[in-house]
Amino acid sequence: MIFEKLKGIIVEELGVDPKDVTLDADLSDDLGADSLDAVELIMEIEDAFDISVNDDAAQEFKTVKQIVDFIEKEE
């Protein structure tokens, strides 16, 4: 459930093909996210999941799975 919702946000924010968004996908290398994309993505994640992501946590996000794991802990 969390992954599917997150996948939708990533596809919308980054304009990538849904099949490219996997748990192992690297946000910058595989999905082409730059620092501005990352900030916008974090804001959308915070709104969608009603959580707060501090800057330190956000800096650690390299893969989609790391974001899913963070959301699971926060919810």
Check 29, 34, 37, 55 and give the catalytic one.
34
Collect all residues with Cβ–Cβ distance below 8 Å to 30 and sequence separation of at least 6: 20
**34 in catalytic set:** yes
Active-site annotation, residues: 34
